[in-house]
A and B are shown apart, each in its own frame.
Chain A
């Protein structure tokens, strides 16, 4: 799937990458090193999904992380992963909501 236009237009979204779960880049926005981001995002979602599987939490939908200067969110869209990096990190929750609703619209 392409990067949702609503996400791409947000000034808080500094970069975004769409990748597959094996770390292959499908699309990159304002991100020169999409390959490394895709690799990291693929491994991260795999590790978190594995933990959730052990704990009986069901399918992974979203992973987000925050730091003092920026945050990131990775949404699972079928076999693809949509990652967005956000500054400032306080804007992360609104980007999460937009991303989630964009993916839900795509599913319906």
Chain B
């Protein structure tokens, strides 16, 4: 795999080529000196969150491209359609020849898919920056805190169920797909979304809708299910202190 990633790194404008798995753990990388292993591991976790989010809209995604003022990020899905799996990420500056790079990345993607199908893609600590000092390397499994997916967050489940759930009634809480038994229940859901958003951001509304579906699948949400809902939502918060704070804020429905 290193040879494939090195081939991408040899393209003019490419600064790093990274492969990470479905949990956001970096499997291997090749990068210029400024893109060292700790940085690429951190970015892998962040990009995995982005991939999980795209899957909420489009489970069978093939590629994601991000254009920045000073460069590009190109992500390719290395998994079979509809499955979660490895992702190739290419970091490039503004000198990248996009047309040429697209072909090269496509070829590399095919090779990496074959390597994965053949079982030859194993987590490795051997990947490195082209001139990074050896001391900068850390074990492949040591992601920085907060860089990976949140525990309990299975985006496949979310993607396969959340965006198509149609059992709905309108509410005034910004959770239009959630059926609630009464105004008090709707108000509690709004509080949940607001409190959760403090810890996970705007995706909180989607989490709340999914959680309601899990704790109250056959009936409109009622306050009787409030405790189960809060516990379910708390599992989306990675930091224990934040989790406790969230649960405390919602103790009194």
Which residues from chain A contact B64 at a C-beta distance below 8 Å?
63-65
Q: Is the interface of B mostly helix, strand, loop or mixed?
A: mixed
CA distance A97 to B87 in the complex (A): 26
Interface residues in B15-69 (C-beta closer than 8 Å to A)? 15-16, 34-35, 39, 42-43, 46-47, 49-50, 53-54, 56-58, 60-69
CB neighbours of A14 from chain B (8 A): none
Judge if A55 is at the interface, Cβ distance under 8 Å.
yes
0/1 interface trace, chain A 79-107, chain B, CB 8 Å (1 if under):
00000010000000000000000000000
Instruction: Let me know if B202 is at the binding interface, CB within 8 A.
Output: yes
Report chain A residues within 8 Å CB of B49: 43, 47
Count residues of A near B (Cβ-Cβ below 8 Å): 39
B47 / chain A contacts, CB cutoff of 8 Å: 47-48, 51
A-B CB pair tally, cutoff 8 Å: 136
Interface CB pairs A-B, < 8 A, 27? A22-B197, A23-B197, A23-B202, A23-B203, A33-B177, A35-B174, A35-B175, A36-B162, A36-B206, A39-B205, A40-B203, A42-B202, A44-B53, A46-B201, A47-B46, A47-B49, A47-B50, A51-B47, A51-B50, A51-B73, A52-B66, A57-B69, A57-B72, A60-B67, A61-B69, A65-B57, A66-B63
Point out residues on B near A: beta carbons under 8 Å. Answer: 15-16, 34-35, 39, 42-43, 46-47, 49-50, 53-54, 56-58, 60-73, 81, 91, 93, 162-163, 174-177, 197, 201-206, 209
